[in-house]
Amino acid sequence: MPVVPVRIAGTTVDIAVPSGPGVTGISMAGFRGRADGLIDLRMVPYPALTVFIDFGDALLTDDAGGERRRGSVVVGMAPDSVFRGCGRDIDLLQLRLSPPVAHAALGACSELGGTVVALEDLWGRDAGRIRERLHAAGSWDERFTIAQAAIARRGASGRAVDPEVAFAWRRMAMSRGRIRVEHLAAEVGWSRKRLWSRFGSQIGLTPKRAATLIRFDHAAHRLAAGHSAALVATDCGFVDQSHLNRDVMAFAGMTPTAVACAPWLDVDDVAWPATNPGL
């Protein structure tokens, strides 16, 4: 199992990732470290639902609503939500679930929006039992195995999204958000109105909004890789650089220049290597 030290906001954090190929729609990473001072890390919308299972002292705060959560929490997928995570003792398992997987495994994908909810609110007592097993695990590999099995078990007993909706999401992710809803509707054999309705009720975002979020995420990573805003705007399908500036400001609350050096992107090449969001 690879473990790589990475500097995050001035603190060295060991990041562990599964050694195997994993399961489609589920990405996992483990974080462990000790900060001399309080780490305060801003997080922005990502095109997947995120499950945080914390064994340290992390506190997740909703910047807009002011709500605070500790322990095991689920962060919904909403383009206009910004959260902050802070703490000193870092011992955290993070899972990113594609919306089709989250819909079945969590049972409330479309209802979460941009909120933060306790995992217990979705899984009941089972959440506490799983967290105890994860806490007692002797290695990150064991934690990854337990978490993956729990998601698979819950997903198998949950309600799957329509195959057409799952297909539409995969096409959006593979195209990095550069596909028109009309083309998707034609590919699945639905009307635009039906796709819009079914996709929104099961994924929690309209197809257009979901595609915009995926495109933003790709653009943010291109900016962090050192590409100019002008090149990113062209390559990611924005009308012009002003269009990129508006979308980045709307999603991240900062300029493309600030996104390029944002600490919340420092870990992605290690924690989520070569992953396509949502797949």
The whole-angstrom separation of Cα 145 and Cα 158 is 20
The closest of 116, 109, 95 to 275, measured between CA atoms, is 95
- Domains in the chain, CATH or no CATH each: 3-159 (2.60.120.10), 163-264 (1.10.10.60)
pLDDT value of position 113: 64
pLDDT value of position 22: 74
Please give the chain's pLDDT, 279 residues, in tens: 678 887 776 778 889 999 877 788 999 999 988 877 767 777 777 898 889 998 987 777 666 556 667 778 888 776 566 677 777 788 889 999 999 999 999 876 666 666 778 899 889 999 999 999 999 999 999 999 999 999 999 999 999 999 999 999 999 999 999 998 899 999 999 999 999 999 999 998 899 999 999 999 999 999 988 999 999 999 999 999 999 999 999 888 889 998 888 877 777 878 877 655 555
Contacts of 6 (CB under 8 A, 6+ apart): 12, 13, 14, 15, 266, 267, 270
> What's the predicted TM-score (pTM) here?
0.89
pLDDT value of position 64: 59
Half-sphere exposure of 97 (CA within 13 A, CB side): 27
In 49-200, the DSSP E strands lie at: 49-54, 59-62, 68-69, 72-75, 83-97, 116-118
Please say whether the beta carbons of 14 and 31 come within 8 A.
yes
